[in-house]
Homo-oligomer: A and B are copies of this chain.
Amino acid sequence: MMKDIFKLALPVILCVFATACSNNKNQKEMNSQKSGLTEIFPKGEKGSGETFTGNAYHIGLVDADSILTTVVGNVYFEPGARSNWHSHPAGQILIITDGVGYHQIEGKPVEIIKKGSVVKCPPNVRHWHGASAEVGLQQLFIVPNIEKGIVNWNEAVSDQQYKGTR
């Protein structure tokens, strides 16, 4: 009788064990998909508290030169992180490659940006960009015609401005 019970129980134990392992693996994948961004580039350096609020990491991909006259880089914003207000003498293009965030041109409503979004910011217009409060943001920035200048940094974006409440 005990032998029969063991014969019966063994496959059940194995089955529960196999299913538990499988579920654990799937859970890990789900957590990764939920919280992590698909990183394309190395994270780079942490952005200075003088130009960013929260945890932002940036890396240069194309440095300034006199031939292409274009600077390209990547920024990872952790949830809640954002740039200070700033402007670009020749404007800026943002290409969002993962996550969800916000972009605002001064005097206009906050706009939601996400994977696949493209932002064109005109020259000498103050704007800021960053992650949503819940999900991070991965974005490429392109600064054209750098002979006119690259960026002029201004003050931090307040919590009220970030929340779009003023």
Contacts and interface: CB of A to CB of B under 8 A. Distances in A.
A97 interface: yes
A152 B48 CA distance: 42
Interface stretch (A87-95, A101-109, A154-162): A87-95
A58 to B, nearest CB: 15
Contacts of A62: 93, 118, 120
B70 A93 contact: yes
Interface stretch (A3-11, A49-57, A75-83, A127-135): A3-11
Contacts of A120: 62, 68
A165 interface: no
A95 B68 CA distance: 14
A79 to B, nearest CB: 20
A59 to B, nearest CB: 10
Given A22-B22, A145-B145, A67 B40 contact: no
Interface residues of A, number: 38
A142 B11 contact: no
Contacts of A90: 68
B72 A118 contact: yes
A14 B14 CA distance: 11
Interface of A: 4, 7-8, 11-12, 14-15, 18-19, 22, 29, 38, 40-42, 61-62, 67-70, 72, 90-91, 93, 95, 97-98, 115-116, 118, 120, 122-123, 140, 142, 144-145
